[in-house]
Amino acid sequence: MSDELEKNDSQKHLIKEQYRKWKEGDDKKEHISTYYPGMDRLTNFKQNYSKRSGDILMSKNFQKAYHIIVPIIFLGMLGIIFYFLIGLPVNALYHFIWCDTDCTDLPASPGIIIVAILDSLVLLLMIINMFKEPWKSQILVKTKNGGYDFRFRKGTKMVERMESYKNKILTNMFLKADTNKDGFIDFTEFLRIDGEEHLTDEEIKEYEEDFEKADKDGDGKLSLEEMKDFSDN
């Protein structure tokens, strides 16, 4: 029993040490901006932003349109939620306490007025954020999955927070998948990394291709560093 506990402690220490080296390695990579006035937008994106594999840089005009259309849709949906959660109860309370049976003389619904104020405050916060880093210099991309996402300039706190969060998630996935606790993930463990138990032949083939790409040294197992490199690409 004691030997088993010592083995588990040793394996946990190995994984923690891998994570520490990985994190310290990232922390030591201090990015020095290579941007200069008049620099091509695509070149600037490749050199100075947290680019991911499959990212397609969107044009400035598309990004401007996105910044107009998406907030309008977002504020509209938020307004509906505010109205049902706050506006309707306020209207009911107003009618119950202050208003007689006939409330047609009201210039506007109190609930709608409150919703408009809340939506305006959210819009104001969004506008203020757009003129502050890291949102001021963000770039819109189309991801390899077909959706849209923002990429931020390297060295900003937003990128650091995102990297730290991703590292924690990936480490937890690694620890969960490493069922024999040897500090590595073999292909059988890799198949269960997303929690899927019943996979089709086509899905298994895709996992095999991903595993081969991640296994850079070809030893048939993945370390935490290899998992990190694979997730980055």
Distance (Å, rounded) from C-alpha 3 to C-alpha 16?
20
DSSP 38-96: T--HHHHHHHHB---TT-EEPPHHHHHHHHHHHHHHHHHHHHHHHIIIIIHHHHHHHHH
User: Is the pTM value of this prediction over 0.75?
Assistant: no
Q: How many other C-beta atoms lie within 10 A of the C-beta of residue 30?
A: 7
Contact 144, 138 (CB under 8 A): no
**Which residues does 207 contact at the CB level (< 8 Å), separation at least 6?**
187, 190, 191, 199
**Which residues does 56 contact at the CB level (< 8 Å), separation at least 6?**
141, 142, 143
Q: CA geometry: angle at 154 spanning 150 and 155, to 5°?
A: 125
Strand partners, 150: 140
Give the pLDDT means over successive 10-residue stretches in the chain (233 positions): 56 59 49 52 75 83 88 91 88 73 61 88 86 75 85 71 74 80 82 68 81 82 79 65
Domains and CATH numbers, the chain: 2-31+155-232 (1.10.238.10), 41-151 (no CATH)
Contact 189, 167 (CB under 8 A): no
Query: Would you state the pLDDT for residue 74?
Result: 92
> Which two tokens mark 38?
């008049």
